[in-house]
Amino acid sequence: MGYTAIVLVGGVGSRLRPLTLTRPKPLIPLAGKPLVDRIIEWLRKHGYTRFILPAKYLGHMIEDYYQGVKDVIVRITDSKDTADAVRLVSDILGDEDNILISMGDVVCNADFNAFMKYHLEHDGIASIALKEVDNPLHYGVVIIDEKGRIKHFVEKPASIELYVISLAFSRVSSRFSLNLVNTGFYIISRNILKIIKEYPSLMDWGKHVFPYLIEQGYNVYGWIMSPYTYWEDLGRPENYVKVVYDVLEGKVDGYYPLGKMIRKGIYIGENAVIEGKIIPPVYIGSDSFIDEKSVVGPYVSIEKGNEVRNSRLSYSILWEHVVVHNSEVMESIIMNNAIINSGCKVLSSIIGSNVNVPSNTMVYGKTIEPVLQV
């Protein structure tokens, strides 16, 4: 019998806009597969056989995507935050004693078997997966004692808070570190479900639930990931681009571009026709066409159904059904169904869905919002 994971996919993804104006963040493409599919695929490899996805923003798109997938249950909720989302799906959890909670916007190849083993051995009410980072200010900072118990939890602290914490804890714990951060992966026992139902004001795991549990004397443990584990939050466009490039380059063990690797660093989807020059690393999705006058790469990810003629693409991401004719695209994201007409130069920009860029247009350092179709 496998484990159950709740993957939180309800966020608006405001920091990723305009990428999230036409699709929810979990469905943003990552070299051939949506982000949430990548997360589920990795968890399947670690013994998870049932996935519950509490959705909200554009939730119908996630529901449609997983239609007919037996081990994935999507429920559209009116959740107010991350813990509230779990509370609203607790009735379909079954009788599992230990449940994994995963954020739906994080790429991570941690050993989740080792995480579950640690949780079961320590028998706490919850365990939080931690990672050591160079700059913890953008994350929840966690302080643990010699036995791995979490003594203090601060959500996205200011510099002065870190200074005060260092004065308070540096003399009392040999494992003291200000660089351990909350990665957004938790294993919780069923007792927590009772607590969050009894106290509905506990809305968010990092801001409310874990600080409350620690205050009340419950044993919450911190499991530290291997320093070689890849972990990246896709909160901003620059993070998204970094992750895509890392996947293309093979830096994320277990996360590979979809399609067949025809030679090192070049992955091609089914029925793609490639006549031009390809400079790795590159992913070209199914049913795409690259003519003989085009040069694609390095660091280019092209999703399915794209058409590129007499053009130069480098350091860029193209979503589905993009057309680029006689143009140059560099260091840019082109969203689905956009058209880049002849004679254009698109540099360091984001072109929204359904946007038609007129011929001979120079787009530099701009974000063009998607054209929302009724």
Residue limits of CATH 2.160.10.10 in the chain: 257-368
Between CA 342 and CA 360 the distance in angstroms is: 6
| pLDDT value at residue 14 | 85
- All residues at 6 or more sequence positions from 95 whose CB lies less than 8 Å from its CB, including other chains: none
Is the pLDDT at 164 greater than 60, yes or no?
no
CATH architecture of 3-233: Alpha-Beta Complex (3.90)
User: Of all residues in the chain, what percent carry a pLDDT higher than 90?
Assistant: 73
Q: Are 244 and 301 in contact (CB under 8 A)?
A: yes
Closest CA to 243 of 34, 23, 20, 22: 34
Task: Say which CATH superfamily domain 257-368 falls into.
Answer: Hexapeptide repeat proteins (2.160.10.10)
Least confident window among 20-34, 149-163, 196-210, 263-277: 149-163
pLDDT of residue 181: 83
Q: How confident is the model at residue 156 (pLDDT cuts 50, 70, 90)?
A: low
Residue range(s) in the chain whose domain bears CATH number 3.90.550.10: 3-233
In this prediction, residues 270-296 reach a mean pLDDT of 97
The number of helix segments (H) and strand segments (E) in the chain equals 8, 33
Q: Please, what is the average pLDDT of the chain? A: 89
**Upstream peptide bond of 370 is cis (omega within 30 degrees of 0):** no
- The alpha carbon of residue 286 and the mean position of all alpha carbons in its chain are separated, in whole angstroms, by 23
Q: Which residue's entry shows tokens 């090192």?
A: 264
Would you give the distance in Å from CA 254 to the centre of its chain?
A: 15
Give me the mean pLDDT over the 125-154 stretch.
78
- For 186-227, the pLDDT digits (tens) are 999 989 999 999 999 999 998 899 989 999 999 999 999 998
pLDDT confidence bin for 97, thresholds 50/70/90: confident
Residue 179 above 80 pLDDT? no
